[in-house]
Structure 1
Amino acid sequence: MTVEPATRPIAPPAASRPDARPPAGARLRRWLSPRNASAVYLFALLFVVFAVWEPDTFLTLQTWRLLLDSQAVTGLVAVGLIVSLSAGVIDLAIGSEAGIGGILVAWFLARQGLPIPLAILLSLLAGAAVGVVLTLLIVRARVPSMIGTLAISSILIAMIDWISGSQQILDLGPSFQKIGTDELFGVTYPVYVLAAVSLIVWYFLDRTAVGRRIYATGGNVEAARLAGVRTSRMILLATVTCGVIVAMAGVLASSQLATGDPTITQSYLLPAFAAAFLGSTQFRGGRFNVAGTLMAVAVLAVGVKGLQLGGAPIWLPDLFDGVALIAAIGFAQYQKAPTARTAAIRRTLRLRGRERRPDLETATNETAPN
C-alpha cells in the first residue's frame, strides 16, 4: 500500500488575494489622482490665479486670517449637514436652524438675562428639538425629507421673525462677543471649535459601528432595515446631531456679529450644500466625508474672496456657489453612475451569453482539462 505524501495547499500570491492592500505607491497615486482629489488641484489653481491677479491683497496674512475666521461658521454648518446627508436626509432647513440658534441665544441673553452657558445650552437644545421634529415627519408621517425640511425651514423663519420682531437683538454683552472674536495663537475660537467638531464627526462616521449604520441607512434604507439596522434610530441620531452642530454655528455667528440678526437664515444654505456635495467627490469616492467637505469649503471661500478682491459685483458669490453646487452634484453622479452601470451591463451580457450559447459552454466544460 502506497501512501502519498501530504501536500500543503499553495496560497495565492499576495497581490491576487481579495483582501490584500495595494502597495503604498499605488495607494498614494490613487489618492492624488485628479478624480479623487480634484479639489486640491482646484484650490492650487485658484491660489495661483488670484496671487498673480491681486498679489497686494490676496497674499496678505490679514486676508487669510479673515478668510479663516469667516469660514468657520460655514464650515460648521457644512459638517453638520453631511451627518444628515449620510443618513439620507436632505436637510433644506439648515440655514433656518442656524438662524434659530443665533436668534435664541441673543434673546436669552439680551431679553431674558440668562447666563451665557445656560443661554448657549438652551439654544443647542432647540437645535436638537428641530432634529426630533424632522425625524417624526420623515419616519412617522412618511413625509419626504426635502418637503419636510422645507416646511420646517419656513416655520423656523416665522419663529425667528416673531422672537426678534424682525429687528436685530443688540446688547449681548462683551463677554459673549469674546467667544467669537478672541484669539489663541492668532486664530479665533470658532476655528478651534470647527476643528474639534470636525474631528469628532470624522471619528463618529468613519471609525464607529454607528457611523457605518448611518452610511448604510443613507445608501439604501430598505436594505439597511432588512440587514437589521434600526434605521429610525439612525435617522434620529443624524438629524439631532445635525441640528445641534448647526445651532452651534448660529450661536458663534451671533457672537461674531455681537448681535442677533434675523436675516442670516439663508446665507449658509447654498454654501453648505455646495461644500457637502463637492466634498463627497473627494477622497472617499462619492461618500459624504469631513475631509472632503472642509477642502470644498476652502475652495469655495478662496474663489469667492479672490473674485471680491478683484472687484467682482456683489451678486457674484451667489452665482459662484450656485454653479459650484450644480457642478458638484453632476460630478458626484458621474463618479457613482459609470461603475454601477458598467457592472450591471457586464453581468447582463454574461448572463445573456450563457443563455444564448449553452452548447458552447457545455463543449468548453467537456474539453477543459481536469
Structure 2
Amino acid sequence: MEKEAGVNEMSPVGTARAAADGTESAVRQDVGAPAGRRRLKLGMDRYSGLYVLALIILVFGLWVPETFLTVQTFKGIALQQAITAILALASLAPYAAGVFDISVAAMLGLSVVVVCKLQSIGVNAAVAVVLTLLVGTVVGAVNGFVVVGLRINSFVATLGTSSVLGALVYWVSDNQQITTGISESFVELGQGAVLGIPLPVVYLAVVALVIGFVLEFRPVGRKLYATGGNELAARLSGVRTDRLVVASFLISGTIAALAGVIFAAMIGSASLTAGPPFLLPAFAAVFLGATQIHSGRANVLGTLIAVAVLGTGVKGLLLVGAQFWVSDLFNGLALIAAVALAVRRSRSGV
C-alpha cells in the first residue's frame, strides 16, 4: 500500500490509519469471503453454545421426557423467546458500533402502551402500528443526538432515556391497563400461525435475516464493526462514524418498537410492566452470542443460539419444578459468564 503524501507512518495519524486499514482488512476477510471458502470448524471456542444446547436437551430429555421432548414444548420455547430475540437483535446494531442502548426494553414497554392506546381511542390498527414504529424511530434519534451530539456516554444516556420512557408509559396509559378497543385483526397478527409456525417466530426470522444480511454482507455492516472495533481508526480511514452510531440507534429504537407491537398483539392488551423483564435476557443473549460463531464479535446467528440456550435451559428447569425466579437467576449467571469470558479473551489476545 502506497503511503499518503505528508503522513509519517510513525505519527499518531499514520498509526491510526494503519490500524484502520488493518481493521477494515480483517473485517473484509471475515465477512466478505465467499461462503464456499470458509472452513466449518465446530470447535468449542466458536460453537460452544450448540454443544451446551445439545447437552441441555439431553439432560432434560432424559429427566422429564414426557413433558420436555414434545413438539408443543419446543414450539412454546420458540414463541416465548421470540420477543426476547427480537429485542436482542435491536441491541445488536448499537453494540456492533461500540455503544449500548439500555433503553430498548423501556421502548418495548412504551410501544405496547402506545399501539393499544391509539386503537382504544379509535385509530385504525395499521395506522397505530406505523405511528408506534415512528415513535421508536424518534426515540432512537434522541438517543443518537444525546450520545453523538452531546457526547454523553451511551450507557448513561440510554439509562436516562429508559427512565423517561418508563414515565411516559404511565402518562400515556393514565396508569390504567388497556384491554378494550383493540382490533381483533391486530390480535390475530400476534396469535396466528403460518403452517403451524407462530407468527411472532416468523417475524423474528424476517428481522434476523435482514439484520444478518446487512451486518455480514453489506459495506455498512463492515463499517459498523470497524467503528465498534476502533472508532478513531475507522474515522481516519473515511468512515462516518457519528452517522453510523446515530443510524444504529435509529435501527435499535425502531426494532424495539416493533417488538413491543408484536408483544401487544400476542397478549391482546397493554401491560404497564411489559418492558423491564426483557432487558436482562436480551442483553445476556447479545453478550453470550458474541462468544459464538464470530468469537469476540456480536452477530445474529450467535445471538439466536444464545437465546435458544437460555430459553431452553429455563424451560427445562421450570418443567422439573424450579421456582419462577429461576429465569432471572439463569439469565444473570449467563450474562456474568459471557462478560467474564469476553474479558478473559481480550486479556489473552484470543
- TM-score bracket relative to the smaller structure: 0.7 to 0.9
Structure 1 match to 2:6: none
Q: Quote how far apart the aligned CAs of 1:339 are.
A: 2.0
Query: Residue 116 of structure 1 is aligned with which of 116, 125, 141?
Result: 125
The 5 Å alignment of 1:56-75 reads 56-75=66-85
The 5 Å alignment of 1:54-203 reads 54-111=64-121, 113-171=122-180, 172-203=182-213
Q: Quote how far apart the aligned CAs of 1:335 are.
A: 2.7
User: Quick one: distance in 2 between partners of 1:339 and 1:69?
Assistant: 38
* Contact 2:284–2:331 (CA under 8 A) maintained in structure 1: yes
User: Quick one: distance in 1 between partners of 2:197 and 2:99?
Assistant: 33
Query: Residue 299 of structure 1 is aligned with which of 309, 325, 339?
Result: 309
* Identical residues among aligned pairs (%): 41
Could you tell me which amino acid in structure 2 is paired with residue 96 of structure 1? Answer: A
SS in 2 for 1:268: helix
Matched, 1:236 2:246: yes
Count of residues in Structure 1 that have an aligned counterpart in Structure 2: 316
Could you tell me which amino acid in structure 2 is paired with residue 320 of structure 1? Answer: F
Structure 1 match to 2:226: 216
Structure 2 match to 1:278: 288
Structure 2 match to 1:52: 62
User: Quick one: distance in 1 between partners of 2:175 and 2:65?
Assistant: 41
Change (3 A) 1:227 1:262: same
* Contact 1:181–1:188 (CA under 8 A) maintained in structure 2: yes
Unaligned runs of 5+ in 1: 1-18, 341-370
Structure 2 match to 1:289: 299
Q: Quote how far apart the aligned CAs of 1:25 are.
A: 11
Could you tell me which amino acid in structure 2 is paired with residue 27 of structure 1? Answer: R
Structure 2 match to 1:320: 330
User: Quick one: distance in 1 between partners of 2:187 and 2:57?
Assistant: 32
Matched, 1:269 2:279: yes
Q: Quote how far apart the aligned CAs of 1:166 are.
A: 2.2
User: Quick one: distance in 2 between partners of 1:174 and 1:59?
Assistant: 33
Q: Quote how far apart the aligned CAs of 1:333 are.
A: 2.2
User: Quick one: distance in 1 between partners of 2:67 and 2:291?
Assistant: 31
Q: Deviations along 1:234-262, whole A, 9 cap, x unmatched? A: 01111101111111000000000000111
Q: Quote how far apart the aligned CAs of 1:229 are.
A: 1.0
Q: Deviations along 1:258-316, whole A, 9 cap, x unmatched? A: 00111011111000000001001101021110000000000000010001111101111
* Contact 1:94–1:269 (CA under 8 A) maintained in structure 2: yes
Structure 1 match to 2:42: 32
SS in 2 for 1:35: helix
Q: Deviations along 1:328-362, whole A, 9 cap, x unmatched? A: 1111222333126xxxxxxxxxxxxxxxxxxxxxx
Q: Deviations along 1:118-154, whole A, 9 cap, x unmatched? A: 1101111111111100111111111100000000000
Q: Deviations along 1:85-122, whole A, 9 cap, x unmatched? A: 111121111110111111110111112x1111111011
Larger RCO of the pair (alpha carbons < 8 Å, separation 6+):
2
TM-score by length of 1: 0.83
User: Quick one: distance in 2 between partners of 1:219 and 1:125?
Assistant: 30
User: Quick one: distance in 1 between partners of 2:220 and 2:272?
Assistant: 35
Q: Quote how far apart the aligned CAs of 1:196 are.
A: 0.7
SS in 1 for 2:44: coil
Q: Quote how far apart the aligned CAs of 1:74 are.
A: 0.8
Q: Quote how far apart the aligned CAs of 1:165 are.
A: 2.0
- RMSD of aligned alpha carbons: 1.5
User: Quick one: distance in 2 between partners of 1:88 and 1:101?
Assistant: 25
Could you tell me which amino acid in structure 1 is paired with residue 52 of structure 2? Answer: L
User: Quick one: distance in 2 between partners of 1:190 and 1:293?
Assistant: 17
* Contact 1:285–1:335 (CA under 8 A) maintained in structure 2: no
Structure 1 match to 2:25: none
Matched, 1:257 2:257: no
Change (3 A) 1:210 1:25: closer
User: Quick one: distance in 1 between partners of 2:218 and 2:189?
Assistant: 31
User: Quick one: distance in 2 between partners of 1:187 and 1:285?
Assistant: 31
Could you tell me which amino acid in structure 1 is paired with residue 152 of structure 2? Answer: V
Q: Quote how far apart the aligned CAs of 1:26 are.
A: 9.2
Could you tell me which amino acid in structure 2 is paired with residue 127 of structure 1? Answer: G
SS in 2 for 1:267: helix
Structure 1 match to 2:216: 206
